Amino acid sequence: MELLTDEERLAELSVDQLKQLVGLVEYDPLADPFPVVGWDAVVWVVGNAAQAAKFYQLAFGMDLVAYSGPETGNRDHSAYVLKSGAVRFVIQGAVAPDSPLVARHAKHGDGVSDIALEVTDVDKCVAYARTQGARVLDEPHDLTDEHGTVRIAAIATYGDTRHTLVDRSAYHGPYLPGYVARPSTVVKPDGSPRRLFQALDHVVGNVELGHMDEWVAFYNRVMGFVNMAEFIGDDIATDYSALMSKVVANGNHRVKFPLNEPAVGKKRSQIDEFLDFYGGPGAQHLALATNDILTTVDSLRAAGVEFLATPDSYYEDPQLRARIGNVRVPVEELHKRGILVDRDEDGYLLQIFTKPLGDRPTVFFEFIERHGSLGFGKGNFKALFQAIEREQELRGNL
């Protein structure tokens, strides 16, 4: 069993790096009824894919690798495939006025439509998922072109989000049949970092009040995911709002899904705000793993990406230094950039959160640099949520 995916090998990542970056662990896929290798792609539906694809190249330093659209015979929508390390985004936008993407975008705004996963046996996974009550959206089928054949299917998850399951072991094209290779037109300035992130660490789903456990059970039962960590109650309650969160992961821990639901607080929680503006459950944030968060944050900020502000008191708190111990960069450097630190029994992590990227207060990004810790920044939740609430209040949604 190969430990690295093709994408990781292409990105020149090693097993040791991935253990550090995303907490990859060894496990026995033969004992897994639904063996997931890792992430395949995050598919976005946006209002203007041409411009969003430029944003991810110019600000996030991603490389355009493939394209589908009217010029390639796809009259419905255009789609741009972008890569950074092992991370693949597919940015789709409607071209035809009657494209199904128009209605989807009207309902949800810019957001994630599909968290596609790489599996070794699409048919086995779908057959098992069906016995466990999953809704199969696309039956297993082949897509073929001159680069080979992809076996593909899709099952439904929370809201209008889907998991496409892909076996691309017999395919050597740039993405999928229907897409053509397309190089970036963006010229990176001399001296800019090769890439700002290497891997996708986790994707968080927001679901409605009272439904978190159902979705945890869905990932346990249908996809054989294991429970990683649990945060409930005081950990992530502020004076005003609260949420509950549980984390599930696939066998090798490459794919991690924290699932949040709102908890009853004095005011509306950030999860309520998301559900209202997204029009139901959906992907709330994507955590991108970097091995140099200082450079990543400096580059993103220089490109105009805005982050949640961390109060000075966070860094001045005498308990912070005691709690975090030795970290690889001086606290002053973290303070300057608003980067948060958390430590647990396994190590520590550095993390920072962007503001929502689109017009609606919905999806945003986290950048994370792990040093042994397999956690999600539990010690930062309170400071973080207070920062989010300040933003919510400015939007009139608290």
Residues that bind Fe ion (CB under 5 A): 287, 366
Instruction: Measure the CA–CA gap between 362 and 100, rounded to whole angstroms.
Output: 21
* 366 assigned ligand-binding residue: yes
**What does the block give as tokens for 219?**
């990932």
6: Cβ contacts below 8 Å, ≥ 6 apart: 168
Nearer CB in complex with Fe ion: 125/236:
236
Query: Is residue 54 a contact partner of residue 46, using CB atoms and an 8 Å limit?
Result: no
Nearer CB in complex with Fe ion: 206/238:
206
Nearer CB in complex with Fe ion: 32/366:
366
Shortest separation between residue 121's beta carbon and Fe ion, angstroms: 30
Query: Is residue 283 a contact partner of residue 363, using CB atoms and an 8 Å limit?
Result: yes
Instruction: Measure the CA–CA gap between 102 and 93, rounded to whole angstroms.
Output: 8
Shortest separation between residue 223's beta carbon and Fe ion, angstroms: 20
Where do we find the tokens 């699409």? 122
Nearer CB in complex with Fe ion: 35/205:
205
Shortest separation between residue 170's beta carbon and Fe ion, angstroms: 34
Query: Is residue 193 a contact partner of residue 60, using CB atoms and an 8 Å limit?
Result: no
* 211 assigned ligand-binding residue: no
If residue 16 lies in a helix (H) or strand (E), which one and from where to where? helix 15-22
Tell me the CA distances in angstroms from 259 to 10, 25, 203, 310, 329, one per residue in order: 31, 21, 9, 24, 31
Nearer CB in complex with Fe ion: 277/353:
353
Bridge partners of 143?
Answer: 150
Nearest partner of 86 among 199, 231, 247, judged by Cα: 199
Q: Which residues sit in the known binding site?
A: 202, 285, 366
Q: Which residues sit in the known binding site for Fe cation?
A: 202, 285, 366
